Structure 1
Amino acid sequence: MILQQISTGGCQSYLLGCGESCSAILIDPALPQLDRYLGVLAREGLRLRYVVDTHTHADHFSAAHELKDRLGVPAVMHRNSVAPYADLRLDDGDMLIFGDLRLQAIHTPGHTNDSMCLHIEDRLFTGDTLLIGGTGRTDLPTGDPDALYDSLFNIVLKLDPATQVFPAHDYKGQSSSTIGREIAENPRLQQRDRAAFAEMMQHLNLTAPDHMTEALRTNMCGGKTIEQMLAEAARKVPFMSLAELRTRLLEGGDDLIVLDVRERSAFEAGHIEGARHLPRGQLELRVNQELPDPTLRILTVCEFGKVSTLAAATLRELGFRRATALDGGMKLWREKGYPVEEGAQ
């Protein structure tokens, strides 16, 4: 069996491959590693058969939806998952077969109600149910400390102590553990009384994960992340450097419209000399009046270079084929000491 562990910060994903059939399964993929997964598959000569999320993640963005669309493979989750993009929903005990390998789902609610562990040979991919030296938290949506107690003490910890444990998260540089080691050393598992375990889990006082709201929105509903939208927009437009714009302004040409898409207060506080003002929120509504000639070259500008990228992509979709975005924004323009002017347009 081919096993590749791929880290994204503290998040862990796993590529399992059958060398005989050249087929593979990807577990808990993270969106920032999308190109890496595709590269590893190509390097190993593997074809992806399934992409599996062990649960609805609240701390990172799953790549399952994107991989499903790109490669035409089923996105797999537990049947309790609300993710609309999941094609194949597993019950406790269901198996996925790829080549000569068989991966069995074990429903282990607690961290979330759709959490499952994935068992193959002597390995257990535990998602956030069991971590190395810890467990998944139970204070996020659908978490339940009593259910986690049952999943751990009545299911997971009854497996062969030699079973290797591969969690979805590790922040201490440890790639794996074993059931036996966790029983002996994991401090949370020393609370073997149900009430004491639940009490401990309810008073961990953990901070909310970064990007939790966006992660839950995208992973539960199948929406796009802000980074995805920005990346898609960036693929549709060219960019102009700050230095190039400064040179063009000094030369005094009239073949470029600098369009500031920030809100009025930001524009009036300081903008590039000669810039025109059209807030991004009004772009589609006012573009015909403000920019009647679609053949003009338009350079969009914002504070940090992100909203202007979205605006330039929108302009191109509207037919302004020469729309360009500034590589950077007014913040960097000011930091370089380039001149600004204040007041209304």
Structure 2
Amino acid sequence: MIFEQIATGGCQSYLVGCADSCSAVLIDPEISQVDRYIALAARDGLRIHYVIDTHTHADHFSATRAIAQALKVPVVMHRDSPAPFADLRLQDADLLRVGNLRVQALHTPGHTADSMCLLLDDRIFTGDTLLIGGTGRTDLPSGDPSALYDSLFNGILKLDPALRVYPAHDYKQRGFTTIAQELASNPRLQHSDRLDFIQMMEQLDLNAPTHLTEALRTNMSGGKSVAQLLAEAASKTPFVSLSELRARTLAGSADLVVLDVRERDAFDAAHIPGAVNLPRGQLELRVNDVLPDPTRRIVTLCQFGKVSTLAAATLRELGFLRTSALDGGMTAWQEAGYPLEQTG
């Protein structure tokens, strides 16, 4: 078995391959690591055949769909997953054949209704059902402490105590644990009475994940996160440095349009001398009036450099092919001590 554990902060992903067939499965991938997963598979001589999410994640952005599209492989989830892009939906005890490896799905609802664990030889990938020193929370959409109790005490905790446990999250970078170790030391598993366990889970009072709404939206629908939109816009947009724009404005380049896409009140308060204002929300509706010459060089800017990147990408799609975005924003311009002017 070829095995790679990839950490992204506290998130854990797993690339597992069969050395004989060079086939592999990727478990719980995170969107910022797409290139890394593909590079690791190539380094190990593996071809990824399946990308699997153990459940609908609420605390990070899944890369299953992006990788599946890039590699032309199926997205695998439990049959109760709400994700419309899941290509292969597993039921309890279903097997995936990955070369000589057999990956068995165990339906373990509780953290979410579609949670499943993946049993493979001497190890089990537990998603958020069983963590190292903890369990998945049950206070998020489709969580159920009673179902989690059954999944744990009447399910995976009855498996071989020597099984290695690899969860989807490990914030202390401990790597793995075993079922025996968790039974002995996991504080939540000491509440072995059903009612006691349910009461304990209902009184945890945990903070909501930072990106809860956005993560659920994207992971359930296959939509894009704001970070993905920004990354895609940046990948097809050239940038201009602060110093270069400063030099060009000083030179009074007649071919240059500095387009400030902030709202009017922010523009009026302070802007780059000679800049033209067109708020991002009005861009598509007013662009032909404000920018009548599509052959001129355009540099977009905003307060921090994010909205202007989206605006530049949009302008290039609209045919303004000489559009770039400022590498930075008005905050960086001001911090550099470059000149400003006000309206009125």
Whether TM-score is above 0.5 comes out as yes
User: Which letter maps to 1:272?
Assistant: I
Q: Distance in 1 between matches of 2:124 and 2:235?
A: 39
Q: Distance in 2 between matches of 1:83 and 1:130?
A: 23
Q: Which residue of 2 aligns with 1:108?
A: 108
Offset of residue 251 of structure 1: 1.5
Q: Which residue of 1 aligns with 2:303?
A: 303
Q: Which residue of 2 aligns with 1:20?
A: 20
Q: Which residue of 1 aligns with 2:159?
A: 159
Alignment of 1:208-223 (within 5 A): 208-223=208-223
User: Which letter maps to 1:194?
Assistant: R
User: Which letter maps to 1:214?
Assistant: E
Are residue 337 (structure 1) and residue 337 (structure 2) matched? Answer: yes
Q: Distance in 2 between matches of 1:182 and 1:66?
A: 34
Offset of residue 240 of structure 1: 0.4
User: Which letter maps to 2:157?
Assistant: L
Q: Distance in 1 between matches of 2:236 and 2:162?
A: 52
Q: Distance in 2 between matches of 1:253 and 1:230?
A: 29
Q: Distance in 2 between matches of 1:204 and 1:342?
A: 52
Offset of residue 254 of structure 1: 1.3
Offset of residue 289 of structure 1: 1.0
User: Which letter maps to 1:173?
Assistant: Q
Alignment of 1:133-282 (within 5 A): 133-282=133-282
Q: Distance in 2 between matches of 1:343 and 1:196?
A: 66
Q: Distance in 1 between matches of 2:118 and 2:157?
A: 14
Q: Distance in 1 between matches of 2:319 and 2:253?
A: 23
- Aligned Cα RMSD in Å? 0.7
Offset of residue 340 of structure 1: 0.9
Q: Which residue of 2 aligns with 1:86?
A: 86
Cα deviation digits, residues 235-259 of structure 1 (max 9, x gap): 1111100000111111122110000
- Secondary structure of the corresponding residue to residue 339 of structure 2: coil
User: Which letter maps to 1:92?
Assistant: D
Offset of residue 69 of structure 1: 0.5
User: Which letter maps to 1:303?
Assistant: Q
User: Which letter maps to 1:270?
Assistant: A
- Unpaired stretches in structure 1, ≥5 consecutive residues: none
User: Which letter maps to 1:196?
Assistant: D
Q: Distance in 1 between matches of 2:321 and 2:171?
A: 47
Give me the identity figure in percent: 68
- Unpaired stretches in structure 2, ≥5 consecutive residues: none
Q: Distance in 2 between matches of 1:294 and 1:252?
A: 19
- Secondary structure of the corresponding residue to residue 166 of structure 1: strand
Name whichever of 252-261 and 51-60 sits farther off. Answer: 252-261
Q: Distance in 1 between matches of 2:325 and 2:90?
A: 45
Alignment of 1:71-82 (within 5 A): 71-82=71-82
Q: Distance in 2 between matches of 1:7 and 1:271?
A: 42
Cα deviation digits, residues 33-78 of structure 1 (max 9, x gap): 1111011011001000000000000000000010011000000000
- Secondary structure of the corresponding residue to residue 287 of structure 2: helix
Cα deviation digits, residues 73-104 of structure 1 (max 9, x gap): 00000000011111000000101001000000
Q: Distance in 1 between matches of 2:149 and 2:6?
A: 29
User: Which letter maps to 1:326?
Assistant: L
- Secondary structure of the corresponding residue to residue 283 of structure 1: helix
Alignment TM-score, normalising by the size of structure 1: 0.99
Dislocated runs of 4+, deviation >4 Å? none
Q: Which residue of 2 aligns with 1:52?
A: 52
Q: Which residue of 2 aligns with 1:9?
A: 9
User: Which letter maps to 1:137?
Assistant: R
Q: Distance in 2 between matches of 1:87 and 1:31?
A: 19
Offset of residue 232 of structure 1: 1.0
How many residues are treated as equivalent by the alignment?
344
User: Which letter maps to 2:187?
Assistant: P
Q: Distance in 2 between matches of 1:225 and 1:50?
A: 23
Offset of residue 170 of structure 1: 0.6
User: Which letter maps to 2:4?
Assistant: Q
Q: Distance in 1 between matches of 2:213 and 2:343?
A: 37
Cα deviation digits, residues 192-225 of structure 1 (max 9, x gap): 1111100100111110111111110110010011
Q: Distance in 2 between matches of 1:168 and 1:235?
A: 29
Alignment TM-score, normalising by the size of structure 2: 0.99
- Secondary structure of the corresponding residue to residue 232 of structure 2: helix
Q: Which residue of 2 aligns with 1:68?
A: 68
Name whichever of 288-297 and 70-79 sits farther off. Answer: 288-297
